[in-house]
Chain A
Amino acid sequence: MFCGCRVEFGAAPNSHTCPTCLGLPGALPVMNHEALRLTVLTGLMLGCDIAPLSKFDRKSYFYPDMPKNYQISQYDLPLCANGSVPLHDLAYPKDAQKKIATPEKEVPLVRIHLEEDVAKSFHLENNTAIDFNRAGTPLMEIVSQPEINSPEEAFAFLTALKQILIYGAVSDADMEKGQLRCDCNISVRPAAQQELGAKIEIKNMNSISAVRRALTYEVERQTEALARGEKLEQETRGWDDGAGKTFLMRTKESAHDYRYFAEPDLVPVKTESLLEEVRARLPELPRAKRARFVEQYGVSVYDAAVLAHDLALAAFFEAAAKGARKPKSVANWILNDLQSALAGAGRAIGDCPISPAALDELVNLIESGKISGKQAKEVFSEMFASGKSAAAIVSEKGIEQLNDPTEIETLCEQVIAANPKPVADFRGGNSASLNFLKGQVLKLSKGKANPALVGEILERQLKT
């Protein structure tokens, strides 16, 4: 945040440090303007008010992971205030998507500020080791209003927020890599009570689903405690994911007096000069993208949501659908065959062996009747395995749809002659027999015959 050290996950301990992030005597902080821009960008994406004048403050407390024993943070003039995170169905956990209490909810925010991260402590058997690589990494703190009403909503809040951060290229927001961290404040109260219960903070969750588990546990623990007549006090608890339990870390009595005061080593920040540049970087947000996919490509609301849920998937779809005759089919291929093939191969969309253009070509072959849907599945598998184009596979394997009516007439005649019983059934009024006969013709053509044409010709022959 205030030095030029690289940020790299998994680097050798203390390999990315300098006098400033080690807090050596005499070293001074220098503002990271890109971090300022990304925070303002996040503020704009979330509809926050951007402070025209913002400043940094020193937050004092002693801990070995704090190189200076004060953290440069923002106290009374944060970069962003207000704003909200819009939730959407797919942001909820899968098992909770059917019973969302308040669809289209927006969780209001209090503020977003910027600060420097602290180092990482490793508690060994007899001592503690400290890795200062992380010390000084820019850290954006987003504080929501206490208006999240269930662990599932908290899950949706984090998922939707993460999605927006990825959309803005602000962060990869991977909780397991510590790129997104979350402290939850949770309280319970009797249904009739207006004021909030005692605020209990939970730390140490390293995935969004762990946040949900920790909160579910806490709701139960606090509710039971109140039911037993206990009085809950403000405290900080840790989450033990293995044990599935929270444990007490500290009570309010040990709360710090941080003695905030304006950081004299930095000058206040005027955001006006940043705003124009940041506005130019504003991306289309998930909600707008979903709406546009429905509007522009005619995909279903649900499909649009699934596509827009993953920025890389949305980009893939858009690239394939742009020139497509039937973008809806492109969407179907992506959401069904491509997604499951990727899942089966354990690959991400960014690592897909089929390019958007290649997928579009495949869909065009189907739409123009060159190959059948069944053939297309075969071609798709081959494309995914070899990376070859659909046209190349079709010509290599001689896969081509049989569209010649004369040839199909002959095939139909053969099948009618070989299946007197189903033919009699059909003529007796059992229309379901037609499907059986149609299947026989396709089988005889080794799957090459155009199914629509086969159905048409068969019906005509049977009725004469």
Chain B
Amino acid sequence: MTASDLPALNIAELRDLLGRREVSPRAVLEALQSRIAEIDPQIDAYLSIDFDAALEEAARADVTLPLGGVPIAIKDIISVAGQPCTCASKILRNYRAPYDATVVRKLKAAGAIPFGKTNMDEFAMGSSTENSSVKPTRNPWDISRVSGGSSGGSAAAVAADAAFGALGTDTGGSIRQPASLSGVVGFKPSYGRVSRFGLVAFASSFDQAGPLTKTVSDAALLMNAMAGHDPLDSTCLNEAVPDYTANLGRDLRGIRLGLAQEYMIAGVDPKVRAAVDAAVAHFESLGAEIVAVSLPHTEYAVATYYILATAEASANLARFDGVRYGHRAENTRNLFEHYGRTREEGFGPEVKRRIILGTYVLSSGYYEAYYARAQKVRELVRQDFARAFEQVDALVSPTSPVPAFPLGERSVDPLQMYLADIFTIAANLAGICGISLPCGFAQTEDGAQLPIGLQLLGAALDEARILQIAHAYEQSTDWHKKRPPLVANVQRPTRKE
């Protein structure tokens, strides 16, 4: 194997080489560096990279640790000590995090090396990474299209072999949807499974960090390092963390998968529908039982989400005021103007839209009609899932109703963009876990192959089972082995799995 082959490896394969000392952490980083230099100008997945710091960590890396010597890309909303943490916003353009997020600390403790920060929709608000104040990220499968969002940088980097694995955050689908559009695995843990300390908050009762990887078993490896109680996050559950790789490889006999009738909606691309139907049939052939279930409050999920998440965001983003850090407007005459101009200059249109929406739904006179009512609906959505999971082990659906769409196509219509999250958003309302993994391709008129993602949702804290089901599907199909044309020139080594 030559150095240029290294970036095509997944984490498990890379760890195999590192553990046997066939390759050094430094060589891995250098190979990744040249890969990024070659490909990132075409996809714009990264916002900042600190190879010097990463090389220093590589020199100290303990390759006997579970993730020893594995470089990991981090979404730019997660704090890494000493590195920028801009959330792709002008308002934090010059901000560097003075501390590590708990997930970053845990990954480092497992031997991983965070080396760069990935692009995203500003403050994770968006589904295409076009809301980045810096640049949109392009889809490695077709660079005229979006990579999804908000963790679009992380998804594109992994898809283009410009990262072995990456962290994203998922507030309404921000890990699963870009994973789907970019043809990688994206895993959203249950709310409270992974510490939020150090994640710049968008919507505190929805946000969860999770991995974007090339395979399901890589997602399980990263989850082993990331999950667990954190005294610094009161909402982080104090529950034992199982070994998420332990069940991988078990067959699906006795597994019951649910199809929600409410997800059979118009507006789903026929190619997506066909791919998901085929996946369901494939699950049956693997021994799983398919059960029809109902999630009666599904139609309210998007509206409920956009009330509650924006309400929380309006308070969470209040701290960006130019007083202590970040962008500060110049030559303001009074405090009111200081706040107004700093935030006017610092925030992009989508962020402003959501702050205004969130402020409105919490305002005196409107609180009961919007916020309070949405809280009640959230509880109903939670109960829908609780009932469904009494019957089935997981729910199957498309991750996104459509494959990757062209840059600029939806950014003019926020409402169209919000509907891109229709299958993912309810999981965040209910706090359950979910995964997106490749299940097919849609060919465009000009011949591009666009990945299609399959979503599996599981009950809260049932991560191990979801990973097991996803793994069984993945290992009996070839979708995850396909590489985008951008990386076709890279020879992929024979898999060892």
Residues of A within 8 A of B (CB): 19, 22-31, 58, 60, 62, 64, 67-70, 130, 257, 259-261, 264-267
Contacts and interface: CB of A to CB of B under 8 A. Distances in A.
A264 B205 contact: yes
Contact of A257 (B199, B315, B363): B363
Given A257-B363, A261-B362, A261-B371, A26 B97 contact: yes
Contact of A26 (B101, B235, B311, B323): B101
Contacts of B234: 28-31, 265-267
B36 to A, nearest CB: 25
Contacts of B364: 257, 259
From B320, B362, B363, name the one whose CB has the most chain A CB atoms within 10 angstroms: B362
Nearest to B198: A26
Contacts of A267: 234-235
A69 B321 contact: yes
B197 A23 contact: no
Contact of B87 (A19, A25, A64): A25
Report whether over half of chain A's contact residues are helix, strand or loop; otherwise say mixed: loop
Contacts of A23: 319, 324
Contacts of A265: 201, 204, 233-235
A261 B311 contact: yes
Nearest to A2: B234
B263 interface: no
Contacts of A30: 231-234
B305 to A, nearest CB: 14
A315 B166 CA distance: 64
B92 interface: yes
B121 interface: no
Given A26-B198, A28-B197, A264 B318 contact: no
A374 to B, nearest CB: 66
The 4 closest A-B pairs by CB, nearest first: A69-B318, A259-B362, A264-B204, A264-B205
Contacts of B198: 26-27
A26 B79 contact: yes
A130 B335 CA distance: 14
B95 A64 contact: no
Contact of A22 (B235, B324, B367): B324
B312 A264 contact: yes
B339 interface: yes
A267 to B, nearest CB: 6
A108 B82 CA distance: 53
A28 B101 CA distance: 11
B196 interface: yes
Q: How large is the interface on B (under 10, 10 to 19, 20 to 34, 35 or more residues)?
A: 35 or more
Given A25-B79, A28-B233, A264-B204, 19 more contacts: A24-B97, A24-B98, A24-B324, A25-B87, A26-B85, A26-B97, A26-B201, A27-B197, A28-B196, A30-B234, A58-B315, A68-B319, A69-B315, A69-B321, A70-B318, A259-B359, A259-B363, A261-B312, A264-B312
A25 B87 CA distance: 10
Interface string B224-249: 00000001111100000000000000
19 contacts: A19-B98, A25-B319, A25-B320, A26-B79, A26-B97, A26-B200, A28-B232, A28-B233, A28-B234, A31-B234, A64-B323, A68-B315, A68-B318, A69-B321, A259-B359, A260-B362, A261-B367, A265-B233, A265-B235
Interface string B95-113: 1011101000000000000
B325 interface: yes
Contacts of B95: 25
Interface string B353-368: 0000001001110010
Contacts, number: 96
Contact of A62 (B98, B324, B339): B339
Contacts of B324: 22-24, 67
Given A64-B323, A69-B318, A259-B364, A25 B231 contact: no
Contacts of B87: 25
Nearest to A18: B99
Nearest to A70: B315
A323 B443 CA distance: 98
Interface in B72-87: 78-79, 85, 87
Contacts of A60: 314-315, 318, 362
B339 A261 contact: no
A452 B87 CA distance: 91
A228 B347 CA distance: 52
A31 B198 CA distance: 17
A16 to B, nearest CB: 15
A25 B97 contact: yes
A24 B233 CA distance: 15
Contacts of A259: 314-315, 359, 362-364, 367
Contacts of B371: 261
A69 B321 CA distance: 8
A30 B235 CA distance: 10
Contacts of B319: 23, 25, 67-69
Contacts of B321: 62, 64, 69
Nearest to A267: B234
Contacts of B318: 60, 62, 68-70
B228 to A, nearest CB: 16
Nearest to B233: A28
Interface in B319-373: 319-321, 323-325, 335, 339, 359, 362-364, 367, 371
Nearest to B358: A259
A291 B231 CA distance: 46
Contacts of B335: 64
B204 A26 contact: no
A132 to B, nearest CB: 8
A64 B323 CA distance: 7
Contacts of B203: 264
Contacts of A70: 315, 318
B197 to A, nearest CB: 5
B170 to A, nearest CB: 16
